[in-house]
Amino acid sequence: MHEWALAESILVAAVEAAEKEKLKIISEIKISIGELQQIEQDIFEFALEEIIKTQGDKLKNVKTVIETEKSTLKCKNCEHTWDFSDMKKKLNEDESEAIHFIPEVAFVHARCPKCGSPDFEIMTGRGVSITSIKGER
């Protein structure tokens, strides 16, 4: 169900931003979803569409564009940074499936490719955010 809550908060934020910019109509919202965000994109898009239907004229003809943000990780030991997608290639199917649902699992399986330390942090690619809003005044 959290896809619905996320979709709603994105739309609320978009409307607020549009009000600040004095936009009468929002024509496009670009949304970025991190690779490590636990979300079912199909459900999220469906939730967006359904919630938009219940909104007023401001969102009537809005187009939502969803982009995936790459996840990058940084080793706390040697400061090496690497892409989550590279790491994912080395995992077997069960592991990558598990990470899709529980990103924290990545911490259990992953090691810094440079120094082998299991101590690293997620720099980007977590969470959902609005990257741009287009509209008419």
CB 75 within 8 A of CB 123: no
Q: How far is the CB of 43 from Zn ion (least distance, A)?
A: 36
- 133 token code pair: 């809003």
Residues in the chain: 137
Answer for the pair 117, 123: CB distance below 8 angstroms, yes or no: no
Q: How many Cβ atoms sit within 10 Å of the Cβ of residue 130?
A: 14
CB of 127 to Zn ion, least distance (A): 24
Stretch that binds Zn ion, among 37-45, 65-73, 79-87, 101-109 (CB under 5 A): 79-87
Between strands 72-75 and 81-83, the pairing is antiparallel
Q: Does the protein bind Zn ion through residue 72 (CB under 5 A)?
A: no
DSSP 3-state of 45: helix
CB of 135 to Zn ion, least distance (A): 45
User: Interface with Zn ion includes 110 (CB under 5 A)?
Assistant: no
Of the ranges 23-31, 47-55, 90-98, 117-125, which one interacts with Zn ion (CB under 5 A)? 117-125
Interface with Zn ion (CB under 5 A): 75, 77-78, 80, 112, 114-115, 117
